[in-house]
A and B are shown apart, each in its own frame.
Chain A
Amino acid sequence: MDLVIRDAIDLRPEQRSARPAPGNVYGALLNFRDALAALGEAATQPPYKAPPRAPVLFIKPRNALAAHGARIVVPRGVAALRMGGTLGVVIGRVACRVREADALAYVAGYTLANDVSVPHDSYFRPAVRHTCRDGFCPVGPRIVARESVRDPDDLTIDVAVDGVSQQRASTRDLVRPVGRLIADVTEFMTLVPGDVLLVGVAANAPLARAGQRVTVSIEGVGSLENALVAEAVA
């Protein structure tokens, strides 16, 4: 069944019974021009050998999904985590081989996500151990209806640590704007209602340490806030 959102759906823990996101969470890597540019010459050298052609995609598994307000655990031996503030596109209709021009009609709404990772340098192998730890993908605090966002390709994503803005990125700078990303992803994998597609993280994503709190905000979509805590000693 289609996912139709009127106004907004609340994803905060007290408002929901099951899971932090309404479906599976997929995301694009290197989808901000500055993030791709930061690879520089390395993109043409081993192990990459050539710049990416198709979208570079990843999966945030269900153990990684977390709600607004959930604590992000900094693993023992890790000084700080990378905060990947991003826009989440929530799919509303079964989307298989969708054309770019039609793609936004398949969107139910928008939310925020924090694509958290243990800092790492290589994009050669899927960085599952760095990016898929429990709680490493807060989503929320709500999904706003598609109609309430005038243009998903003109949103400013702000990432603040302890209330101080550390990164501002505009979705104007996406390598693949939202519609094109949906088209290129659904060319080979069907997205279903509730699935969330993260549009990517800009260069220089800030670090945060245990004891700090991180807020990902987009005007009109909301503010997603989570505190970082140190992993308990076993």
Chain B
Amino acid sequence: MRRARVAYAGAIHEAYPDVAGVRLADGRVVGEDKVVWLPPVEAGTIVALGLNYADHAKELSFAKQDEPLVFLKGPGSLIGHNGQTRRPKDATFMHYECELAVVIGATARNVNRAEANAVIAGYTVANDYAIRDYLENYYRPNLRVKNRDTCTVLGPWLVDAGDVEDAANLTLRTYVNGVKTQEGNTRDLVFGIPYLVEYLTSFMTLDRGDVILTGTPEGVVNVDVGDEVVTEIEGIGRLVNTIAGDAVFGL
């Protein structure tokens, strides 16, 4: 099953795919462009992985790690499908990151990797933007790079884990204005999903609604105001986002 959270006609609804658009839980069928797409989960803790594809780590000139590079993000940075992400005018290198997002479905502490699937509710697509101009070497990647308002795009669908045959073999692609700029496959994750669940829950309790952004493969390029960025994962979804300038935000 796949489900979304959308705003329509004055309320927030769970919604499902329909040939004519989306079907709300109350039976109304509405065009995809007639709803406001929200992130498909009300996220709790958001854990993100850096340098978790060997090729992307190489692209950024990093040596192999012996422990996952983990950082946290706040829920305030999230937006949904078809949203706008702000590019500040002083930025010179802002890039998307197409990532498989794992949504936790149960309280999880000290979960062995062999049991990891039992605590996963499902998967969605993330586009975890970074603005490299603001990188500093303290708690890198620092929040100013990775935790900006509108810079974490999530959706459109939460796909039940049971409907994903093999999360360790999914193709990820990003298109900027229709041109493919990034392609990878989750089989190339340095630290796979079961290991990440084991690692994280060895020191912290994950809970229903927590999200793990598993990292991005190589192929990140600068995006500009007006660009349409589509991040897509085979069998999970196609997430659309547009880059907006400061003027839209009253600056």
**A residues neighboring B (CB under 8 Å):** 24, 26, 29-30, 47-50, 52-54, 56-59, 61-64, 75, 96, 123-129, 132-134, 188-192
Contact = CB atoms under 8 A, between A and B. Distances in A.
Contact of A48 (B47, B73, B137, B147): B137
A117 to B, nearest CB: 12
Given A29-B139, A48-B137, A62 B148 contact: no
30 contacts: A24-B74, A30-B138, A50-B137, A52-B136, A53-B136, A54-B134, A56-B136, A57-B143, A59-B143, A63-B205, A63-B206, A96-B149, A123-B139, A124-B138, A125-B139, A126-B71, A126-B139, A128-B47, A128-B71, A129-B70, A132-B204, A134-B203, A188-B147, A188-B148, A188-B149, A189-B143, A189-B147, A189-B149, A190-B76, A191-B76
A26 B45 CA distance: 12
Interface string B229-243: 000000000000000
Nearest to A64: B204
A126 B44 contact: no
A54 B72 contact: no
Given A59-B72, A59-B73, A189-B149, A123 B138 contact: yes
Given A124-B137, A125-B69, A132 B203 contact: yes
A96 B250 CA distance: 12
A26 B74 contact: yes
The range of chain B's interface size is 20 to 34
Interface SS, B side: loop
A132 B75 CA distance: 17
B97 interface: no
Interface of B: 44-45, 47, 67, 69-77, 109, 134, 136-140, 142-144, 147-149, 203-207
A115 to B, nearest CB: 13
Contacts of A132: 72, 203-204
A75 B204 CA distance: 12
B207 A62 contact: yes
B139 A56 contact: yes
Contacts of A63: 45, 204-207
A29 B138 contact: yes
A125 B205 CA distance: 21
Given A62-B44, A96-B149, A126-B71, A134 B136 contact: no
Contacts of B203: 75, 129, 132-134
A181 to B, nearest CB: 13
A47 B134 CA distance: 16
A61 B210 CA distance: 10
Given A59-B73, A134-B109, A189-B77, A125 B140 contact: yes
Nearest to A26: B74
A189 B76 contact: yes
Contacts of A53: 136
B139 to A, nearest CB: 5
Given A26-B74, A128-B70, A189-B148, A57 B109 contact: no
Contacts of B205: 63, 134
A49 B203 CA distance: 30
Contacts of B77: 189
Most B CB within 10 A of own CB, among A26, A52, A59, A191:
A59
Given A134-B204, A189-B76, A189-B149, A61 B45 contact: yes
Most buried by B among A61, A75, A127: A61
Contacts of B207: 62-63
A192 B76 contact: yes
A61 B204 contact: yes
